[in-house]
Structure 1
Amino acid sequence: MPKMDGFQLLQECKKDPALRKVPFIIYTATYTGKRDVEFGISLGAVRYLIKPTEPDEFLAMVWEVLDGISTGTIPEAIPEITPDAVYAEGHIRVLTDKVEKKDRALEGQREQYRLLAENVSAVIWLLDVATGRYVYVSPSIMTLRGYTAEEVMAQPVGEAATPESNQLLARDLPDQIARFEAGDDTMRVRRHEIDQLGKDGAIVPTESVITLLAGPDRRVTRILGVTRDITDRKRAAMQIALTSHKLALMNDVTYQDIQNKVTALRGYAQLLREARTDGERSAFIGKVEDILAQVHRLIKNTKEYQEMGLDQPRWIPIETAIRTAAAYAGPGPTVRIETDLHGLELYADPLVEKIFFYLIDNAMVHGRGLSRIRFSCAEVPDGLVLVCEDDGAGIDPQKRATLFSRFTGDMPRFGLFFVSEYLALAGMSIRETSRSGEGARFEITVPRGMWRMDGATV
């Protein structure tokens, strides 16, 4: 009943002489308390039924009332009209009970929602558009950013994200609101990737599902957000990209190495054709067999590497990796390989060995007068610097800018390009820091967490 409830209808019927004798059965799902029943009967209802009631039971009640009236067991007329003041007092008590019951139900729901919001891993938040302040932030913000909910609610909203993410939000969020207010319902809920700032200064990649809350006029007054940490998802995506890139690099490495071996084979084939003695032929054939064995090993290693799915990172003892790389590079007895690494290990995949191979190979090819290649390391505020230096002729200043390029003029180069690419993909970096007149000096910067000394991670 849109304008009156059953009690009001019953009271009005009692006042109408033409309707006073009509038997009145209250059938309700709204007023179900003991005081409700007592009030309805006091107003003159002959029966008080609470929904749901089976149809057969309901019809039986109607026939019982009609039979009661016909036999006189139920009075035809309502004996007395309840005074308006008495009715109002009783009705107020009933309505008060109803409101209190609703409040208890709502409080129970609020408690359920509170427990839900406070125990989910995602951060639930509510932002007031007019003030630009959070009016609610769930406690899980502590896990995400290291702040308490109270600290975040006291901060301007712009302090939550990095400057870059704030710029994106300043562009995208007003556009979302404007389009929604203009009638585009697809803009009510949108996903935004936001880099948030932790209390310790760390950047936390997150995804926020933003829902616009508006009144009947579609004016957005509040924004409801659910934010979750997507670090693992980002890391997985980066790992997939890294794996693909590493695979391409490994293929390029193999192609370059085999091409070099084929060039050497062609040279020995020419020498074989020009050989005049069996001894010369036997020596050249031995060189050819050695090169073929190296090509076979390259192909086998590449196949094994691919079958491993580009092996997962592990702690690699760097001195061992350098010694293995030096054995492949073959610097000869005139060049010493020195290490001063204090048990250094890097968290990397086995391909890191190629880094040291190309650094040694580069020194041998370009370091005129070379007699020593030295590897050392030192801790710095941002992590660790791993140094490779030699006593050769050094780097031509005019070539320093293109040192790590894939091509120099028309000449393809691979070694230092590969070193730079691999280290960048692995989260490290390299630069050449020698001074004019000195040998080459390469510095590899390794972030914290990716290196350790004698088993102790730093």
Structure 2
Amino acid sequence: MRILIVEDNADDRRLLKYNLVYHGNEVIEASDGLEGLEKAKTHKPDLIISDALMPRMDGFQFLRAVRQDESIKKIPFIFYSAVYTGHDEARLAISLGADEFIIKPKEPNEFWDEINSTLEVLSLKREKPVTAELLEEHKEFLEKYSQIVAAKLEEKVRELETAKKEIFAVQQRLQYLLSYAPAVIFSMEVEPPYDITFISENAAAQTGYDALYFVENRNFWADNIHPENSDRILKEFAQLFEKGQTVFECRFRRKDGTYIWLRDDARLVRDDNGKPMEIVVSSIEITERKTAEEETQKKMEELEKFYEASIGRELKMKELKHEIEKLKHEIERLTAELEKYKK
């Protein structure tokens, strides 16, 4: 069965879609009555499920438009919505030609059972005309409902303002945590020269540059990688697009001109279609570790040279001992010859 869902709340729409798809239905989505009307005409669904309170065109206006259009007027129409005026919405919906009004929220199985029950009843009864008397009877309520819609929209605006403040508070908290974290977090574009689009504030402590400087100056990241590391980093980025993640170490020039070692863990973020969207990198300074590694390497090289020198001396001692033994044997031979001569 092809079902058109008309719901302005994305989360509610997604949950409803999952439920309907789970029961083997094809689902078409719309976010308000205007979009729903367009998709109803285009796709001719077997059933329409709509919310009542929506922007641009609410559910009741949408229902009236459906029932006045010859091409879609016979499509079963079910409201799935919360109520704000007792059960007047449900009575109004039925009088305008809705086949059922299911009050939110419902458990998924319970909701599906009600849908099936409604469709079974519809298959047994004739089409119910929407009379002028019924429309006149509810004219006052339609006007009242418009006021309710306006009030609810104002309430939603207030909710959005509250949500924005909460989001801002979360962002501030997140920025605080990022600023004092040991790693610098930044995001980059997916095309060369991989411009930085965001970087945490603690970049200033690591590099000497303000975070804003990274974002405002194109090529900044690529231009400050040590020349000896730049070619290798480009190869590492090629692996990033193949594997989705790569880790590399490089030298980065600080504002004071000195170089520090960084260990960058880069991950590729893709959209739902698999298209690369951005690169997110976690960067920590490893200068002390690299310095210790270099010192250790130098000591190892010195030890190897000493070992090689020791081996060389040992070989020379063996050769000298061998020559001494040969000389000793020669002396003994000459002594023996001399003794024979004396006799």
TM-score between the two structures when normalised by the length of structure 2: 0.51
Write the mapping of 1:55-454 to structure 2, written as runs, cut at 5 A: 81=141, 83-129=144-190, 132-155=194-217, 156-157=219-220, 158-174=222-238, 176-177=240-241, 179=242, 187-239=243-295, 241-269=297-325, 274=331
Deviations 1:53-85 (A, max 9, x none): xxxxxxxxxxxxxxxxxxxxxxxxxxx958122
Contact 2:187 2:196 in 1 (8 A): yes
Structure 1 residues 170 and 262: CA distance shift in structure 2, 3 A = closer
Contact 2:188 2:197 in 1 (8 A): yes
Which AA in structure 1 matches 2:92? K
Deviations 1:172-193 (A, max 9, x none): 425633x4xxxxxxx3322232
Give the aligned partner of residue 15 of structure 1. Answer: 92
Distance in 1 (alpha carbons) for counterparts of 2:93 and 2:235 = 67
Give the aligned partner of residue 50 of structure 1. Answer: none
Structure 1 residues 212 and 270: CA distance shift in structure 2, 3 A = closer
Distance in 2 (alpha carbons) for counterparts of 1:11 and 1:118 = 54
Shift of 1:252: 2.0
Shift of 1:13: 0.9
Bigger shift: residues 101-110 or 126-135: 126-135
Contact 2:188 2:194 in 1 (8 A): yes
After superposition, the CA RMSD in angstroms is: 3.9
Give the aligned partner of residue 82 of structure 2. Answer: 6
Structure 1 residues 244 and 163: CA distance shift in structure 2, 3 A = closer
Shift of 1:268: 4.8
Distance in 2 (alpha carbons) for counterparts of 1:11 and 1:171 = 67
- Higher helix fraction: Structure 1 or Structure 2? 2
Shift of 1:114: 0.7
Shift of 1:98: 2.6
Deviations 1:273-306 (A, max 9, x none): 63999xxxxxxxxxxxxxxxxxxxxxxxxxxxxx
Structure 1 residues 104 and 225: CA distance shift in structure 2, 3 A = same
Structure 1 residues 128 and 248: CA distance shift in structure 2, 3 A = closer
State the SS of the aligned residue for 2:272.
Answer: coil
Structure 1 residues 188 and 7: CA distance shift in structure 2, 3 A = farther
Contact 2:83 2:103 in 1 (8 A): no
Contact 1:124 1:225 in 2 (8 A): yes
Percent identical residues: 14
The answer for unaligned runs of 5 or more in structure 1 is: 19-23, 29-79, 180-186, 278-458
Structure 1 residues 168 and 251: CA distance shift in structure 2, 3 A = closer
Give the aligned partner of residue 39 of structure 1. Answer: none
Distance in 1 (alpha carbons) for counterparts of 2:214 and 2:160 = 35
Structure 1 residues 139 and 272: CA distance shift in structure 2, 3 A = same
Which AA in structure 1 matches 2:156? L
Which AA in structure 2 matches 1:137? I
Contact 1:214 1:220 in 2 (8 A): yes
Structure 1 residues 260 and 189: CA distance shift in structure 2, 3 A = closer
Deviations 1:221-269 (A, max 9, x none): 3222111122344345445544544443333222222333344444555
Deviations 1:121-171 (A, max 9, x none): 222112234684322222332333332223333332321212233323334
Which AA in structure 2 matches 1:162? H
Deviations 1:19-44 (A, max 9, x none): xxxxx99769xxxxxxxxxxxxxxxx
Distance in 1 (alpha carbons) for counterparts of 2:313 and 2:234 = 51
Give the aligned partner of residue 121 of structure 2. Answer: none
State the SS of the aligned residue for 2:160.
Answer: helix
Residue correspondences, number: 216
Which runs of structure 1 show a deviation greater than 6 angstroms over 4 or more consecutive aligned residues?
Answer: 24-28
Contact 1:14 1:81 in 2 (8 A): no
Structure 1 residues 95 and 172: CA distance shift in structure 2, 3 A = same
Distance in 1 (alpha carbons) for counterparts of 2:168 and 2:319 = 83
Bigger shift: residues 95-104 or 239-248: 239-248
Shift of 1:87: 0.8
TM-score between the two structures when normalised by the length of structure 1: 0.40
The answer for unaligned runs of 5 or more in structure 2 is: 1-11, 14-49, 52-80, 96-101, 107-139, 336-343
Deviations 1:410-439 (A, max 9, x none): xxxxxxxxxxxxxxxxxxxxxxxxxxxxxx
Structure 1 residues 194 and 25: CA distance shift in structure 2, 3 A = same
Distance in 2 (alpha carbons) for counterparts of 1:93 and 1:220 = 38
Shift of 1:110: 1.0
Structure 1 residues 7 and 102: CA distance shift in structure 2, 3 A = farther
Give the aligned partner of residue 111 of structure 2. Answer: none
